[in-house]
Amino acid sequence: MKKLFIIALIALTPLMAQVKGKIEVPYIAFPIKMGKGFDAVQANCLMCHSFGYIINQGRQSRKFWRGKIEKMIVHFKAPISDKDAKIIEDYLTEHYGNGK
Ligand code: HEC
């Protein structure tokens, strides 16, 4: 019983950590470019993570974006249809492309 109590105490200790002063969580707004195909991005990409992951990559080539979409589908099991994948690829290439 005593052991259990100690384990519980250790597990809960982080919750008891005290912080002096006010903490402000920065609010980061990700500017999203609207345009043709954005619906598909919203429906297929934002279910798992924010748009930040996408625009933090900076401007990239079509090949890069195709690879990322593929990665999401293959490795992370994103349920994205071929049709939507193409629409998203076009959208990303147009708005976040580097001309390559
Ligand atoms: C099934 C969930 C899921 C969906 C849907 C999804 N992603 Fe991801 N994405 C992830 C995970 C998991 C990571 C990696 C997170 C990490 O490493 O912290 C990630 C990371 C990323 C990254 C960061 C770079 C990298 O290679 O890890 C980009 C860019 C990205 N996703 C783009 C997209 C795009 C574009 C779509 C829509 C076509 C999409 N994601 C849809 C799960 C998803």
State if residue 47 touches ligand 1 by the CB under 6 angstroms criterion: yes
In whole angstroms, give the CA distance from residue 51 to residue 93.
Answer: 15
pLDDT tens column, 37-91:
999 999 999 999 989 899 899 999 999 999 999 999 999 999 999 999 999 999 9
* Mutation test residue for ligand 1: of 46, 76, 86, 95, the one with most atoms within 8 Å of CB: 76
pLDDT tens column, 2-35:
887 777 767 766 666 677 888 887 776 667 778 8
Q: Where are the domains of the chain?
A: 32-100
| pTM for the structure as a whole | 0.78
Return the CATH fold of 32-100: Cytochrome Bc1 Complex; Chain D, domain 2 (1.10.760)
In whole angstroms, give the CA distance from residue 98 to residue 72.
Answer: 21
